[in-house]
Amino acid sequence: MQKTPEFPVLLRLINERSVAFRAAVASAPSLDVQVPTCPEWKLLDLVRHLGGVHRFWAATVAAGPADAPPAERSGQMALTAPRECEALLAWSAESTELLLSALREAGPDRGCWTWWGGSQSPQTSGAVARHQVQEATVHTYDAQITVGAPQPLPEEAALDGVDEFLSTCCAGPYTWPYEPAVVDYHATEGHSWRLALAADGVRATRLPATGTMPATAAGEAPDAADASARGTAGELVLALESRIPVDSLKLDGGRRLFDLLLAWDPDE
């Protein structure tokens, strides 16, 4: 069964993906080039966004347990970013180090405010680190595709990325407003996940590495999923994050359920 990466691994991945992000940005001919996967942003906006996110979560983790986030939001923090490329990259590197320093100081178990309070993910600095791996990983892909050099998501980050997305962004005491359904996600690397959607809540579970279904309490195999998606872990993450079309995956059971999932807002 898949395990969540240890805290030091999460910190390493944040740093590695952030370094790769800046390398892609540094290779761009201009910071004014449009980001295809975030069409409302130019590359300058993307760098400011990720740096602002790093600074916001550094402040959030440093504040410890709280009922509300810091007064300054990530967008406000991004306004301090310079426009000139070399200075902007230095600001980005400083932003990453602020985040990593705050996480190292807090350790994995310290409580803090998070926007995913009702989800299956805990409100801890460790969960923040886990989510920030995905933030840096997906935005590195955004930067790479902007400069015409997209790379597959690193397997280590991508495998946890599927689990992290389903647990943090989907699962919780949320109302699924359609017919109850079960959706499975299968990574070609050998890991699988199940998302059970119902009016009284949504739950994400890891399935055995073989992709077989776990037995019920009575020892019988549970019902098959209503729909499933298969691809590399990186492709699954990019589809969940709306970076590539869901049709890029191998779908079984039709795509209507995936369209409903993509349009669904758990907070509504």
> What was the pLDDT predicted at 77?
80
Q: Is the Cβ–Cβ distance between 239 and 231 less than 8 Å?
A: yes
pLDDT tier, 222 (very low <50, low <70, confident <90, very high otherwise): low
Q: What global pTM score does this model have?
A: 0.93
Which tens digit of pLDDT belongs to each residue from 95-144?
999 999 999 999 999 999 999 999 999 999 999 999 999 999 999 999 99
Q: Which residues pair with 251 in a beta bridge?
A: 229
Which tens digit of pLDDT belongs to each residue from 130-174?
999 999 999 999 999 999 999 999 999 999 999 999 999 999 999
Name the residue with tokens 């300054």: 72
Instruction: Round the CA-based radius of gyration of the chain to a whole number and report it.
Output: 19
Q: What's the gap between Cα 83 and its chain centre?
A: 27
In whole angstroms, give the CA distance from residue 196 to residue 227.
Answer: 11
> What was the pLDDT predicted at 261?
94
Which string of DSSP letters, residue by residue, matches 176-223?
--SS-EEEEEEETTS-EEEEEEETTEEEEEEEPTT-PPPP-TTSPPPP
Q: Is the Cβ–Cβ distance between 191 and 170 less than 8 Å?
A: no
Q: Is the pLDDT of residue 209 over 80?
A: no
> What was the pLDDT predicted at 241?
97
161 three-class SS: helix
In whole angstroms, give the CA distance from residue 259 to residue 116.
Answer: 23
In whole angstroms, give the CA distance from residue 54 to residue 52.
Answer: 5
pLDDT tier, 254 (very low <50, low <70, confident <90, very high otherwise): confident
> What was the pLDDT predicted at 225?
96
Q: Is the pLDDT of residue 216 over 50?
A: no
> What was the pLDDT predicted at 20?
98
In whole angstroms, give the CA distance from residue 144 to residue 140.
Answer: 6
Bridge-based pairing of strands 192-198 and 181-187 is: antiparallel
> What was the pLDDT predicted at 1?
61
Average predicted confidence (pLDDT) for the chain: 93
Q: Which residues pair with 185 in a beta bridge?
A: 193, 229
Q: Is the pLDDT of residue 217 over 80?
A: no
In whole angstroms, give the CA distance from residue 143 to residue 199.
Answer: 38
The count of residues in the chain is: 268
- Which residues are CB-contacts of 117 (< 8 A; sequence separation ≥ 6)? 123
> What was the pLDDT predicted at 128?
98
Rounded mean pLDDT, 37-62: 97
Question: What stretches of the chain show up as alpha helix (H) in DSSP?
Answer: 7-26, 43-63, 74-78, 85-106, 125-146, 155-165, 233-240, 256-263
Q: Which residues pair with 207 in a beta bridge?
A: 192
Q: What's the gap between Cα 179 and its chain centre?
A: 26
> What was the pLDDT predicted at 76?
83
> What was the pLDDT predicted at 268?
77
